[in-house]
Amino acid sequence: MYHTWMRYFTPSPAHHRLGLVCLGVGLQHGTLPVVGPRVLDHHVAVVISAGRGWFRGADGRRRTVTAPALLWLIPGVIHHYAPDPDTGWDEAFVDFTGPATAAYTELGFVDPDDPVIALTDTATARTAIGRIVRAARHGNPFLEVESAAAVHELLVALRRVRADTGADGHPVLQALARDAFRPLSVAEHAARHGMTPAELRTAVRRSAGCSPKDYLLGIRLGRAKELLVGTDLPVAAVARRVGYDDPAYFSRLFARRVGTAPVRFRERQGRSVPGGFTDRVPDPSRPPTIPPSAPANEERHGDI
C-alpha cells in the first residue's frame, strides 16, 4: 500500500536560460514499487525522511538506505532502488536540469561519486520542496521561476544537512575564516591544524568546493570591498588589513578577480557609511530599519 502525489513541468527555452529549472516534484510514502534499473537524462534529488530500503548504482553494489538520507540520481548513470517491503519509506523527489548543475557539482553540492548521502535531518529540504509543491498549483503564472528558485534553495539545504560535514562545513573552514587576514601561506595554515597541504586542500574542496587559496581569497576580497566602500582608508591600509603587505600585489590581485582596480571600485560604489560597517549579524526577527522622519516642512496639526 502506498500513496503518491506528483506534478511534472515543461519549462520554456527562456526559463532554461535561468540556468536551473525544475522538471517535476513528488511526495510519496509507503511500500513503493521498485524503481529501475533505469537511466535518466536529468538530475533527481530523492529525499528519504523516514523508513529504510536499498539502492544499487553503476558499480552494481547494493547499499542500505536508512532515513534521513538523500539519493542522487545522475543523468546518464544507471540506478535501481526501492524501500523495504515491510517498512516502506517517506520520500520526496525533485527533478531538475540546467547548465548550473555543472557548477553545483564542481562546488560539491551535487555528488555524482556518492549517490547515497546520510543526512542529519530533512526539515529544511522538505521546506524547499514544499515551496515547489505550492508553486505547482494550477494556473500559477510564476511556476517555473518559483520552482527554479526553490531548487537552488533545496541544493543549499541538502548541502547543509550532510551528516559528514555539518551545517557550517568542515571545522577547518571556520578556523581558516578566523585566520584569513593573517599573512600565512596555505602550508602554514595546514601546519596550524596539524594537516599536510594536501589534506587541507581535500578538506576545503569537499566542504567549500574550492581550493584553500580561493576560499581565503574570497574572504579577503569581500572584506577589502567593505573597507573600500565604508571607510576612507588608503588602498595600502586596506591591503594590510586583509593580509597583504604589498599594496601593488593586492591591487593587481583585486583587479584580476574583481575586474576593476580598488580605487575604481570605491569610486563606482560611491557610498558613505558613517561609523563604518559592522560584523555583527542582526537578529532575523528584528532586522535593521530606517526610522521614519517627517518632512521638514510638514505642518503640525493644531498649530496656527
Query: Could you tell me the CATH number of the domain that includes residue 211?
Result: 1.10.10.60
- Among 110, 132, 160, the domain-final residue is 160
pLDDT at 203: 83
pLDDT for residue 145: 97
Cα–Cα dist 73/24, whole Å: 14
Q: Is 63 helix (H, G, I), strand (E, B) or coil?
A: strand
Higher pLDDT, 169 or 68: 68
Instruction: Tell me, yes or no, whether 235 lies in a domain.
Output: yes
119 and 96 belong to one structural domain? yes
Cα separation, 200 vs 77, in Å, equals 31
> Are residue 7 and residue 155 in the same domain, yes or no?
yes
Q: What is the pLDDT of residue 167?
A: 52
Distance between CA 304 and CA 300 in Å, rounded?
A: 9
How many Cα neighbours within 13 Å face the side chain of 37?
Answer: 10
pLDDT at 181 exceeding the cut of 80: yes
Percent above pLDDT 90 for the chain: 67
**Which of 128, 160, 192 is the last residue before a domain boundary?**
160
Over residues 125-154, the mean pLDDT reads: 96
Q: pLDDT tier at 300 (50, 70, 90 boundaries)? A: very low
Instruction: Quote the mean pLDDT of the chain.
Output: 88
Global confidence as pTM: 0.77
Same domain, 156 and 216: no
Position 282 in a domain: no
CATH number for the domain harbouring residue 108: 2.60.120.280
Please tell me the distance from the alpha carbon of residue 112 to that of residue 58, in angstroms, as a whole number. Answer: 11
**187 occurs within a structural domain:** yes
Q: Does residue 128 or residue 288 have the better pLDDT? A: 128
pLDDT tens-place string over residues 255-270: 999 999 999 999 988 6
Measured distance between the N- and C-terminal CA atoms of the chain, rounded to whole angstroms: 80
**Per residue in 192-219, pLDDT tens?**
888 899 988 888 887 777 889 999 999 9
pLDDT tens string 58-105: 999 999 999 999 999 999 999 999 999 999 999 999 999 999 999 999
The verdict on 156 and 180 lying in the same domain is no
Are 74 and 123 members of one domain? Answer: yes
Q: How sure is the predictor about 276, in pLDDT bands with cuts at 50, 70 and 90?
A: low
Residues 97 and 195 in one domain: no
Residue 178 lies in a domain: yes
User: Is residue 297 in some structural domain?
Assistant: no
Residue 163 has pLDDT above 90, yes or no: no
> Is the same domain home to 131 and 255?
no
In this structure, what is the dihedral angle of CA atoms 77, 83, 85, 87, given to the nearest 10 degrees?
170
Are residues 147 and 197 part of one domain? no
In 32-133, where do the E strands start and end?
Answer: 35-38, 43-56, 62-66, 69-73, 79-83, 89-97, 116-118
Evaluate whether residue 286 is within a structural domain. no
Q: Is the pLDDT of residue 290 over 80?
A: no
Contact between residue 242 and residue 223 where contact means Cβ atoms under 8 Å apart: yes
Task: Choose the final residue of a domain: 160, 188, 204.
Answer: 160
Residue 26 lies in a domain: yes
Per-residue pLDDT, 304: 32
Total length of the chain: 304
Per the structure, the complete domain to which residue 67 belongs is given by 2-160
Q: pLDDT tens across 95-120, in order?
A: 999 999 999 998 889 989 899 999 99
Q: Are residues 6 and 154 in the same domain?
A: yes
Mean pLDDT of the 179-200 span: 89
Could you give the CA distance from residue 57 to residue 40 in angstroms, rounded to a whole number?
13
Total domains in the chain come to 2
Comparing 149-153, 269-273, 292-296, the range with the smallest average pLDDT is 292-296
> Which grid coordinates belong to 231?
571607510
**Residue 257 located in a structural domain:** yes
